[in-house]
A and B are shown apart, each in its own frame.
Chain A
Amino acid sequence: MSGAFHAQLSLYAAIATRSFRRYSTYTAATLAGIFTNSVFGIILSFAYLALWEQNPSAGGYGAEQAVTFVWIGQALLMTIALWSGGSTDDLAERIRTGDIAVDLYRPVSVLGWYLAADLGRGLYHFATRGVAPTIVGALLFGLVLPSPAGAAGFLVSVALAVVVSFAVRFLFAASAFWLLDATGPRVLLSVLATFFSGLTLPLNLFPDGLRQVALALPFASYVQTPADIWLGRHSGPDLLAAIGLQVAWAVLLLGACALVLRAATRKVVVQGG
Chain B
Amino acid sequence: MSLIEVRDLSREFTIRKRVGVVRRTSVVKRAVHDLSFEIDAGEMVGYIGPNGAGKSTTIKMLTGILVPSGGSAIVAGLEPARQRRELARRIGVVFGQRTSLWWDLPLRDSFELLRRIYRIPDQTFQRNLDDHVALLDLGDLMDTPVRQLSLGQRMRGDIAAALLHDPEILYLDEPTIGLDVISKGRLREFLRALNHERGTTLMLTTHDLQDIEALCDRVIVIDHGTAVFDGPLSSLRLNGDASRTLVVDLVDEAPAISVEGAQVVKVEGPRQWLSFPAGASAAPLVAQVAAAYDVADLSIHEPAIEDVIRTLYGG
Residues of A within 8 A of B (CB): 7, 10-11, 14-15, 18, 22, 25, 98-99, 101-102, 104-108, 265-267, 269-270, 272-273
User: Which of B1-9, B87-95, B283-291 faces chain A?
Assistant: B87-95
Cβ contact within 8 Å between B118 and A107: yes
* Contact flag A270-B63 (CB < 8 Å), given A102-B95, A107-B85, A108-B117: no
Cβ contact within 8 Å between B66 and A105: no
Cβ contact within 8 Å between A102 and B117: no
Cβ contact within 8 Å between B60 and A106: no
Cβ contact within 8 Å between B105 and A11: no
Which residues of A sit under 8 angstroms from B174, Cβ to Cβ? 273
Scan residues 181-220 of chain B and give those whose CB is less than 8 A from a CB of chain A.
none
Q: How large is the interface on B (under 10, 10 to 19, 20 to 34, 35 or more residues)?
A: 20 to 34
Q: List, sorted by A's number, 14 A–B pairs whose CB atoms are closer than 8 Å.
A: A14-B112, A14-B116, A18-B102, A18-B113, A22-B105, A101-B60, A101-B98, A105-B63, A108-B85, A108-B117, A267-B67, A270-B65, A273-B95, A273-B97
* Contact flag A105-B88 (CB < 8 Å), given A266-B67, A273-B97: yes
* Contact flag A7-B88 (CB < 8 Å), given A102-B98, A104-B65, A105-B100: no
B263 within 8 A of A: no
Partner of A98 from B86, B98, B113, B117 at Cβ < 8 Å: B98
B56 within 8 A of A: yes
Instruction: Give A272 to B51 CA distance when docked, in angstroms.
Output: 11
B119 within 8 A of A: yes
B239 within 8 A of A: no
Scan residues 223-250 of chain B and give those whose CB is less than 8 A from a CB of chain A.
none
Cβ contact within 8 Å between B99 and A106: no
Instruction: Give A218 to B282 CA distance when docked, in angstroms.
Output: 79
Partner of B65 from A7, A25, A265 at Cβ < 8 Å: A265
A267 and chain B: residue at smallest CB distance:
B67
Which residues of B sit under 8 angstroms from A15, Cβ to Cβ? 113
Cβ contact within 8 Å between A273 and B173: yes
Which residues of A sit under 8 angstroms from B113, Cβ to Cβ? 14-15, 18
Instruction: Give A22 to B81 CA distance when docked, in angstroms.
Output: 33
Which residues of B sit under 8 angstroms from A98, Cβ to Cβ? 98
Partner of A273 from B56, B117, B119 at Cβ < 8 Å: B56
B109 within 8 A of A: yes
Which residues of A sit under 8 angstroms from B91, Cβ to Cβ? 105
Cβ contact within 8 Å between A102 and B116: no
Which residues of B sit under 8 angstroms from A272, Cβ to Cβ? 56, 97
Which residues of B sit under 8 angstroms from A10, Cβ to Cβ? 116
Known: A18-B109, A99-B98, A101-B60. 16 other contacts (CB 8 A): A7-B116, A11-B117, A14-B113, A15-B113, A18-B113, A104-B84, A105-B88, A107-B88, A108-B85, A108-B117, A266-B67, A266-B81, A269-B66, A270-B60, A273-B56, A273-B97
